[in-house]
Chains A and B, each alone.
Chain A
């Protein structure tokens, strides 16, 4: 079936440092979405990409549709960046628009 492989499952950063999250896809898809889920459970939209690269502040995301992967780069991490990050593949199929989520990356930013 459709698969989204997200890594790492957990990540610990010190304030001011950075890292990258990655999602590999084993299905044909229209676009990728990246979300941050905060401690209350709310999903915050970070990026929606059909292709290419987008940047927003300290975050940058790339979607390589030919090689079926997407990355989310975080630089200069802050304490408020802590939370769970999800990528989701948008599949446009017979059942309508379907989002398939990765397992999530639990990010902990420490002073």
Chain B
């Protein structure tokens, strides 16, 4: 069975400080990976998408960047946090190219508060 783990569970950070959020998928090789952001009380917005190691596509620019250093790992980061970065960050996976469907499955999320 596939498992998706996100770390940390929650973060409280100062404006201007760096950030690194992680996501690991186990039990599925070569998945598509995704990052989403959700403002408190709001809907989800897709940020990044990756179909293979080393390749990341940006969907929405929020002064964030993403990287995929390993097949099962997706990292979201920034060098300088803004107040507007506060919210809930979710990682998701789906089958890769050639899969029967692209149904996305979400991790437990990381709650970020920027002060």
A and B from one assembly?
Answer: yes
Would you mind naming 25 contact pairs between A and B with Cβ atoms under 8 Å apart?
A30-B102, A31-B101, A31-B102, A41-B38, A41-B108, A42-B106, A45-B105, A48-B101, A48-B103, A86-B43, A86-B44, A95-B49, A95-B57, A95-B59, A96-B32, A96-B49, A96-B51, A97-B102, A97-B104, A98-B46, A99-B44, A99-B46, A100-B46, A102-B43, A104-B43
Taking a contact as CB atoms under 8 Å apart, the answer to whether A42 and B109 are in contact is: yes
Q: Mark B85-115, 1 if CB is under 8 A from A, else 0.
A: 0001010001000000111111011010000
Interface SS, B side: strand
Interface residue? B45 (CB, 8 A): yes
Measured between beta carbons, the chain B residues less than 8 angstroms from A31 are 101-103
Q: How many residues does chain B have at the interface if contact means C-beta atoms less than 8 Å apart? A: 24
Taking a contact as CB atoms under 8 Å apart, the answer to whether A43 and B59 are in contact is: no
Q: Mark A68-111, 1 if CB is under 8 A from B, else 0.
A: 00000000000000000010101010011111111110000000
Measured between beta carbons, the chain A residues less than 8 angstroms from B34 are 97, 99
Kindly state the separation between the CA atoms of A96 and B96 in the bound complex, as whole angstroms: 11
User: CB within 8 Å of A: which residues of B?
Assistant: 32, 34, 38, 42-46, 49, 51, 57, 59, 88, 90, 94, 101-106, 108-109, 111
Interface SS, A side: strand
